[in-house]
Amino acid sequence: MRAIICGAGIAGLTAAWWLERDGWQVTLVERAAGLRDEGYLIDFFGSGYDVAERMGLVPALRRAQTRAKAIEYVDPDGHGRGKLRYQSFDVAFRGRIATIMRGHLERVLHDSLGDRVPIRYGTTIDAVRPDIHGVDVTLSDDTQQRADLLIGADGIHSRVRRLVFGPEEPYLRYIGYHTASYVFTDPQLRDQIGDRFLAVAVPNRQLGLYPIDDRRLAAWLVHRSPQPALPAEPAATIRSTYVGLGELADRALAHCPTGAELYYDQVAQIEMAGWNRGPVTLVGDACQAVSLMAGQGAAMAMGGAYVLAEELRRGGGVPAAMDRYEKRMRPFVRAKQRAGRRTAHWLVPNTGWRLSVRAAAFAAAALPGVPALLRPALATSSSSVVTSSAEPVGTAR
Ligand SMILES: Cc1cc2nc3c(=O)[nH]c(=O)nc-3n(C[C@H](O)[C@H](O)[C@H](O)COP(=O)(O)OP(=O)(O)OC[C@H]3O[C@@H](n4cnc5c(N)ncnc54)[C@H](O)[C@@H]3O)c2cc1C
């Protein structure tokens, strides 16, 4: 059986790993010129952690863990607005959590594939022609491929989705914020930040800084915006939106790049009535984006890819497997999307009162014994799509 996967990100690489292991002949098509190492920091638990464990990747993820030891919120004058040590998350999740750069997760997945699956970097899909036996795909390098299954794993603005399911608008639910991130070198500021994730927070705006290595920092920004449309010049918008956040923020803003090194996007979710059409299916953000407000998109992308592969392995034909995959994933995705919308104004408080309540909640969570008490509440948010205990554990080859 042959599969073409469009997008060698978190979902695409995971799907490729499992399908190849199950004997599929897989081709990965990726628009980017190569691996992108950086990105932004993600908390990785629940489904993603479970899948990574089955792939034998937890030790590699541990080695890629962030150097930041605590999250610390401050106001523009540097006064504390809440602090929590990452160790508390570890206790609350019984050690089944990793905080890593998205790019490091991509690299770990990529390296685990070795050269068993060819990745055609700098390539996208130009045309898709499904029929009752399979699908013909035209790649941007003008070559043709035939497969039994085409998987769109090309992220929230998926091209496969647009080609097969139509324009993005009806599927994208904007949830009211824009976000940005970039990596920059500033050894002096790096020393000032130390081993912290330091976030300057005011109502409706937040700018976070955290260390990548001894010289480099990453900036993560999020602000409320009534306008879903992206600005023509994101760097200029960032500089004007985040004024008045104090000296550290000003220094970080001076490093804001203007080109492709600046990630800038809407904060949005993807909701679709169906994820499958003939021999074409979608995985990850392409069909189930939960947004950074829910904070489990990468974990859910790995979960979705794993469930798809598991259902294909169970047999009964590709269409039946795709149906079962969608049915299994939907309740988890819906619950996380709802939770993300509900908690957005706590992640980015919209009033001074909410900022104070968040600071108080952080202070309470830092008290001895409280992280362990949070376990029952966190059990719901970290519920996993990985259910079958019979599934053999993979090894990183
Ligand atoms: C600021 C921020 C913070 C986040 N925090 C967390 C967190 O704490 N925890 C968590 O689990 N998740 C988090 N997420 C979400 C997470 O990053 C995504 O949900 C996850 O990366 C989705 O994986 P994916 O493989 O579906 O898509 P992506 O990771 O976006 O990968 C898609 C791939 O497809 C490629 N591609 C795109 N278009 C094409 C095309 N036309 N042709 C070929 N290839 C194409 C892209 O280059 C990319 O390699 C966060 C997201 C953001 C923005």
User: Rounded to the nearest whole angstrom, what is the distance from the C-alpha of residue 169 to the centroid of ligand 1?
Assistant: 19
* Coil, strand or helix at 294: coil
Q: Which residues contact 8 (CB under 8 A, 6 or more apart)?
A: 16, 28, 29, 30, 32, 106, 110, 119, 121, 153
End-to-end CA distance of the chain: 22
Q: What share of the chain is helix, strand, coil (3-state, %, to 5)?
A: 40, 25, 35
For residues 91-126, b (16+ Cβ closer than 10 Å) or e, as one string? bbbeebbbbbbbbbbbbbbbebbeeebebbeebbbe
Ligand 1 atom 31: residue of nearest CA: 9
30 lines ligand 1 (CB under 6 A): yes
Mean per-residue pLDDT, 219-241: 95
Asked which of 108-117, 251-260, 313-322, 355-364 is least confident by mean pLDDT, the reply is 355-364
- The label of the residue with tokens 């392409």 reads 286
Q: Which CATH superfamily does the domain covering 2-172+268-381 fall into?
A: FAD/NAD(P)-binding domain (3.50.50.60)
391 pLDDT above the threshold of 60: no
322 pLDDT above the threshold of 70: yes
Which of 307, 311, 321, 319 is closest to 385 using CA atoms? 307
- pLDDT band with cut points at 50, 70 and 90 for residue 375: low
User: Rounded to the nearest whole angstrom, what is the distance from the C-alpha of residue 153 to the centroid of ligand 1?
Assistant: 9
Q: What is the pLDDT of residue 335?
A: 93
Tokens (6 digits) for 16:
């490729």
Other Cβ atoms less than 10 A from the Cβ of 289: the count is: 27
Atom of ligand 1 nearest to the CA of 300: 11
- pLDDT band with cut points at 50, 70 and 90 for residue 382: low
153 lines ligand 1 (CB under 6 A): yes
Mean per-residue pLDDT, 370-382: 61
User: pLDDT tens across 250-285, in order?
Assistant: 999 999 999 888 999 999 999 999 999 999 999 999
Q: What is the DSSP letter of 170?
A: G
8 lines ligand 1 (CB under 6 A): yes
User: Rounded to the nearest whole angstrom, what is the distance from the C-alpha of residue 298 to the centroid of ligand 1?
Assistant: 7
Which of 99, 121, 109 is closest to 14 using CA atoms? 109
Q: Give bridge partners of residue 224 from the DSSP assignment.
A: 177
Task: Please tell me the distance from the alpha carbon of residue 135 to that of residue 50, in angstroms, as a whole number.
Answer: 32
User: Rounded to the nearest whole angstrom, what is the distance from the C-alpha of residue 8 to the centroid of ligand 1?
Assistant: 10
Asked which of 89-93, 172-176, 373-377 is least confident by mean pLDDT, the reply is 373-377
| Residues 153/66/396/7 CA torsion (nearest 10 deg) | 10
* Inter-residue contact 305 to 280 (CB < 8 Å): no
